[in-house]
Chain A
Amino acid sequence: MPKFVLDGKEIEFKPGQTIIQAAKDHGITIPHFCWHESLSVAGNCRVCLVEIEKMPKLAIACSTTAAEGMVVYTASEKALGARNAVMEFLLINHPLDCPICDEAGECKLQDYAYSHSAGESRFVEEKNHKDKRVPLGPYVMFDGDRCISCSRCIRFCDEIAKDNELTFVKRGDRVTITTFPGEELDNPYSLNVTDICPVGALTNRDFRFRARVWDMSANKTICTGCSRGCNIELWVRNNEILRITPRQNEEVNTFWMCDHGRINTFKFVNAEDRVDGPHIRKEGKLVKVEWNEALTQAASKLKKFAKNEIAFIGSAFATLEDNYLLVKFAHSLGVKNIDFIRHYIPSFADNILRREDMTPNSLGAEAVGVKPSQGGLNIDGIINGIKEKKIKAVYLIDDDIAAAFPELEEELAKLDLLIVNATNINKSASVADIVFPAATYAEKNGTFVNFQGRVQRLKPAVATVEDDRALDGLEMSRLDKFGTKFDRWAQGHKYDAKSSWKILSALSIEMGFKLKFNMAEDVFSEIAKNTKAFSGLDYDVIGELGAQSKLQPEEKIITT
């Protein structure tokens, strides 16, 4: 491979690569605002100017292709002088409102002003003023004053979202960004522009002013919006999720995620209708009871039914571990009626990230055996069985059968026994006889298998009653580290909820057959041992970016 010299260090590059990209591949970051790895090169911020030997002028590292034998200096006197000058120019019209700006703390301009700027402004005239607080679309707010015209957002809409919505208007220091007449920034990926905006010009309307970035902890996990399973970070303060941002994973979502995943997949975790502690129906009402009482009652009631009168419904929203324990539980009882509900919305899919399958783990649920055994009923059979009163007891985890099949709501209420592991009081839970509080995806360890057959790890971000942030390995913000339990910022409500596999495990002990595991990791190692598709995998191998299983990627979606 050809080589060039960067700051006295010889580095290799692929022919055709730019200096900035080659440097990045070797872990050297050349300062930049407008350049982004997966967007086209614009070259308009000028902050990546570097000195190249035998070139008369400084060149921008983002659009200069590296050549054999090139000698590049990023920190020579000339390069530093130019960088300082560019920073001074950029800061001329940039308002000094970091205290108000939401980007403060994760702002590139703020960081570079510290590391690459003289720190003094010679500009004494009145700063330029542009429109502030312009809603560009349903989710994005624009502040013209703060914009440094890097055009990342424009290029994102054109190249990634494939929806030309944004453009520059006016010239010189009056240049600003706006949507085309009659258009809104409403493509399904619009919120990604708030991530790539190097300053606080584009902000998330759902998150604006809710918290400072340094007060939150960022927890690496997986999005549950569809079967893509985008890698994400959950930002948590005081045990409450405040926002979601995408995390880079070249195999799955590169840098992006869709607005549905970012806005709609976390609010139920701290919603008012969360199930807090086990509930039993007494005189027509769901009453909160102790775990022991709920478990004993569930066990004694389940025992009264014949094998073919019971149906188990797994869930593609639940983890591999949850589904695996459900299958084991059903087989221990000799029940053959077991399946899960598919959630397909063909209109949701596109050619970028979104998939028809609105669940994060349908491939995994099938792989661990959530399907009818020989002679058992599948989901349609179970539904008919409920209607014909052949199925008398149903155990449902982490899903809402009454919402998926609205015609079934009355029939479900008439069932002899409906046990539900639910996160929130949904339609099924509100007609159930026994409701166990299930932990949400943000509260448990586990694994999902996305549509590519890639196994990815969920990590808890929100603590339940049985968790301690420090001891259970949850990410800690500054406040988490230094607060005591008497401090008000450490008193965010903890729900009395457990992962479905833990509930099933506890119930199995009441039933008299012991499916005992200590940790989600133990369940997974048993899955890996018993299932060919996952052999050789464990939590360490999966790591933060996931690992490919031997499952065939889902090519075509069967629409029902």
Chain B
Amino acid sequence: MAVKKREKDLTLLEKMYIPEIVKGLSLTMKNMFKPKFTMKYPEEKFIPPASYRGRPVLVMEENGEERCVACGLCSRVCPALAIEVQAAETEREKERYPVKFEINMLRCIFCGFCEEVCPEEAIVMSKDYELAFSHREDAIYGKDKLLTPVIQLKDRIEFLRSYK
């Protein structure tokens, strides 16, 4: 078996590795004083920009009522069939409201179609990305978890309007 001879042997300096260690450490030292990109999650939280598509939520007006009129378009357009809406009649001016509105967060793929199709600007993508469940049933979000005050969603709504 032929053994190929090394083209060049290491010099003494190279054999000591000291210059290389200094080189490496100096890079580390340099970066220690540069601005950081990482975060101490979960002590520190990432606040996404308005364009971020977190979990979809229902907009709750200041008077505590939902904007949603239960037209069912979000449910129709949802490619993952995550949304279930049951309408009913109300005394309000818009005579239809969702008596049940459920999103299965195990099915949701955060595509944002529901937000795009909504004629009432009643379902928007929030900045909430913390979705962990210990049980399948917990992943089905009803109106109690979905309704979010409009004030918290101002960012997203303004972002959407700027693209209309």
- Point out residues on A near B: beta carbons under 8 Å: 97-100, 104, 132-133, 208-212, 214-215, 479, 482-483, 487-489
Contact = CB atoms under 8 A, between A and B. Distances in A.
A489 B86 CA distance: 11
A376 B119 CA distance: 69
B72 A212 contact: yes
Nearest to B87: A209
B71 A483 contact: no
Interface in B117-157: 119-120, 140
B96 A487 contact: no
Nearest to B140: A488
Given A99-B120, A100-B95, A209 B89 contact: yes
A210 B87 contact: yes
21 contacts: A97-B94, A99-B69, A99-B71, A99-B73, A99-B119, A100-B69, A100-B95, A100-B96, A104-B71, A133-B95, A209-B70, A209-B87, A209-B96, A212-B72, A214-B72, A214-B76, A215-B72, A482-B81, A483-B81, A488-B84, A488-B140
B81 A479 contact: yes
B109 interface: no
Contacts, number: 41
Interface in B62-90: 69-73, 75-76, 81, 84, 87-89
Contacts of B95: 100, 132-133, 209
A479 B84 CA distance: 10
A487 B102 CA distance: 12
Contacts of A98: 71, 119
Contacts of A104: 71
Contacts of A97: 94
A208 B96 CA distance: 10
Interface string B92-104: 0011100000100
Nearest to B96: A100
Interface of B: 69-73, 75-76, 81, 84, 87-89, 94-96, 102, 119-120, 140
Nearest to B73: A99
Contacts of A488: 84, 102, 140
Nearest to B94: A100
Contact of B81 (A132, A209, A212, A487): A487
A209 B75 CA distance: 15
Contacts of B87: 209-211
A489 B84 contact: yes
B51 to A, nearest CB: 26
Nearest to B118: A99
A208 B76 contact: no
A78 B24 CA distance: 81
A214 B81 CA distance: 14
A487 B84 CA distance: 10
Given A99-B69, A99-B120, A209 B84 contact: no
A479 B72 CA distance: 13
A50 B32 CA distance: 80
Q: Looking at A100, A210, A483, A489, which has the most chain B CB atoms within 10 Å of its CB?
A: A100
Nearest to A209: B87
B89 A208 contact: yes
Q: Looking at A132, A133, A209, A210, which has the most chain B CB atoms within 10 Å of its CB?
A: A209
Contacts of B76: 212, 214
Contacts of B84: 488-489
Nearest 7 A/B pairs, CB to CB: A99-B71, A212-B72, A209-B87, A100-B96, A99-B119, A100-B69, A209-B89
Nearest to B97: A209
B103 to A, nearest CB: 12
Given A100-B96, A209-B96, A488-B102, 19 more contacts: A99-B71, A99-B73, A99-B96, A100-B71, A100-B94, A104-B71, A132-B95, A208-B89, A209-B87, A209-B88, A210-B87, A211-B87, A212-B71, A214-B76, A215-B72, A215-B75, A479-B81, A483-B81, A488-B140
A427 B114 CA distance: 50
Nearest to B79: A482
Nearest to A483: B81
Q: Looking at B70, B72, B76, B102, which has the most chain A CB atoms within 10 Å of its CB?
A: B72
A188 to B, nearest CB: 25
A371 B73 CA distance: 55
Nearest to A214: B76
A88 B102 CA distance: 38
Contacts of A100: 69, 71, 94-96
A215 B73 CA distance: 11
Q: Looking at A212, A488, A489, which has the most chain B CB atoms within 10 Å of its CB?
A: A212
A210 B102 CA distance: 16
A479 B88 CA distance: 20
A132 B119 CA distance: 21
Contacts of A483: 81
Contacts of A133: 95
Contacts of A211: 87
A97 B88 CA distance: 16
